[in-house]
Structure 1
């Protein structure tokens, strides 16, 4: 690798780190706020929220790496063009493909990082997050035993405890169940206890009042009780869907025995093909994004007015790649034999970048031909 290659590659890596940090931070913070809101509302501790938030980080990084590679390539190419560095390299005899060599190496480095995340870290973190969510959802006391806070363990249910005594008694309990559209049940009690009966958990309320409100005709039914048992297990949503289980398997596990994986997870051959091959395609997208960002700006050449038109064109090409990525999913889902279509977005991106580099080289050949035919 020459000094020029090392220089361009170092610039790309520095800007890549910067843009990756910015993009990951923005996207991750947005997701973390939603998760924080939900988990704190369920009465979870800050430590649990931080753990689950960190488990989402590998997937967020994997999503943002191609975008960061594209942004770094565009920024570095734009700066080198505005400072006439590219003009000097082309005047010294460097072809567009020769100048693009450090960009290709940069894209391969990004692809390696994306592959490590997509093949190993993202499945592992997704599986761990599912396990932790299952543990949290099955822990009813973690959801409900929170003093002075209105909790919403599931849609249409509100639960409140004013105070929890040292012997486990719940004082001044409020429970509102609005899941049935025909009647809303509200329970209040001076004291209550949580008791377990096999797999179910009951809320035993003492000295309380139950109110049933029928919205259709506006009637209200009230009943005073000395003690009343309520199955709280039905209120707490303990079902955590496993979703598509192939997401929790690393790529070597997916490739070891495809038929066994499909039987164990219940996915169709098309869904299996998409999950497996898309992991490789996402790595190659990083190469395509970097090359498109570089080659599109190289078409514009040097201009005192900048290359903003080429930047818009590069963004447009990236949007086209993402549209192709969305379009190929449905055919492969219907017919697994069409799995090569999964690689169409990355192959198209590299082909577009190659075509742009060939386009940049054409005028240079014509100018050389004119110079050679000119009379002495």
Structure 2
């Protein structure tokens, strides 16, 4: 049972992390393009961001693995055979409940420690990349901002240290502006200062926009324009509530630089709700997976997948909507958690006491109301056209 469950769990985690990391990979790759250690930096950035995805993938993988195993055993009539030998459904799937406790502890460690540390490391890494040397970030035919200057380079040579057809525009403090045009230029680096040396160009200066006719034109053979300095250290960890460890955020009793008390409460309770979801998700997966061996429900897997997505969206909505209510985000988040927890426990008890699969118990009631769980039943019931 444990081996059968671990295979879909591990597969779901790996596939989910790969899919979710694709978009992040493209963002990081754009930042490191031209850097000599590009692949190493991409690997570090993805490793720092993986805990963010892992916090969501662990409950999803546990739920999907439980559902898959329960569905396979019931469709293959193995559950019926085990019941005939005196083994109850609850005993058969008790290992999934234990696995849920293990995943809960693991996810508490992820959302409480790995996720905030990884988020801070990722932000520090991207900060250093964004403040990296000008010649590593410049692109052909693209306007880019370097301090107060806007720089446009039409062509970058292979060495990435020399350029052709350069334009620099700078808004001056007194309301004027300066524009520099040059057919070629290259990078010079003296100590921590990075300069763009331009040749055979022209500088246009308007010191005061109130007098636009007062334009100064100057042709030059060579001019140095500073385009970078030594990168300042990244800020200390803790300005954002998402960077606080679980013990730190639970002890936080005053607003942060980038977060108020409502944000802190939402972040703390959302982390705990997501982590503790692993306690009931195996039961919910078993409830949906245990079905009648006499019929195979093709759309039940789609419903099972939609249900976990709905739960995740309800948690996100409860956290955001709770900020606007007097009850606060904590009450909204734990209300959603309690609702799903109670439903999962009750349905698991009903399913494992021999009453039968959930679908067999619900269908008669819905049919009495004129509803049908099978959305394609009306198609099969239509008369055939001769």
| TM-score of the aligned structures, taking structure 1 as reference length | 0.73
1:363 aligns with 2:358: no
Over the aligned positions, Cα root-mean-square deviation in angstroms equals 4.0
- Show structure 1 runs of 5+ residues with no match: 1-7, 213-221, 365-376
Cα deviation for residue 67 of structure 1 reads: 1.8
Q: Distance in 2 between matches of 1:336 and 1:31?
A: 36
Which SS does the other structure have where 1:206 is aligned? strand
Match of 1:330 among 311, 320, 327: 320
1:258 aligns with 2:252: yes
What are the equivalent positions in structure 2 for 1:285-364 lying under 5 Å apart? 285-298=277-290, 300-303=291-294, 305-334=295-324, 335=326, 337-360=328-351, 361=353, 363=355
Q: Distance in 1 between matches of 2:305 and 2:189?
A: 60
Match of 2:119 among 109, 116, 126: 126
Cα deviation for residue 238 of structure 1 reads: 9.2
Which SS does the other structure have where 1:102 is aligned? helix
What are the equivalent positions in structure 2 for 1:58-207 lying under 5 Å apart? 58-141=51-134, 143=136, 153-154=144-145, 157-159=151-153, 160-162=155-157, 171-176=162-167, 187-194=181-188, 202-207=195-200
1:225 aligns with 2:217: no
Q: How many residues align?
A: 334
Q: Distance in 2 between matches of 1:78 and 1:178?
A: 65
1:27 aligns with 2:17: no
1:55 aligns with 2:29: no
Q: Distance in 2 between matches of 1:22 and 1:348?
A: 30
Match of 1:278 among 270, 274, 287: 270
Which SS does the other structure have where 1:18 is aligned? helix
Which 10-residue stretch deviates more, 225-234 or 264-273?
225-234
Alpha carbons of structure 1 residues 171 and 83: separation in structure 2 relative to 1, 3 Å: closer
Alpha carbons of structure 1 residues 283 and 171: separation in structure 2 relative to 1, 3 Å: closer
Which SS does the other structure have where 1:208 is aligned? strand
Q: Distance in 1 between matches of 2:121 and 2:9?
A: 29
Alpha carbons of structure 1 residues 244 and 65: separation in structure 2 relative to 1, 3 Å: farther
Which SS does the other structure have where 1:315 is aligned? helix
Instruction: Judge conservation of contact 1:191–1:207 (CA < 8 Å) in 2.
Output: no
Which SS does the other structure have where 2:157 is aligned? strand
| TM-score of the aligned structures, taking structure 2 as reference length | 0.71
Instruction: Judge conservation of contact 1:269–1:336 (CA < 8 Å) in 2.
Output: no
- Show structure 2 runs of 5+ residues with no match: 172-176, 206-216, 357-386
Alpha carbons of structure 1 residues 47 and 292: separation in structure 2 relative to 1, 3 Å: same
Q: Deviation digits for residues 187-234 of structure 1, max 9, x if unmatched? A: 33434454679x98553422225699xxxxxxxxx9743234445359
Q: Distance in 1 between matches of 2:128 and 2:35?
A: 13
Q: Deviation digits for residues 145-194 of structure 1, max 9, x if unmatched? A: x8x967765597544542669xxxx54444346899xx996733434454
- Structure number with the higher helix fraction is 1
Instruction: Judge conservation of contact 1:43–1:151 (CA < 8 Å) in 2.
Output: no
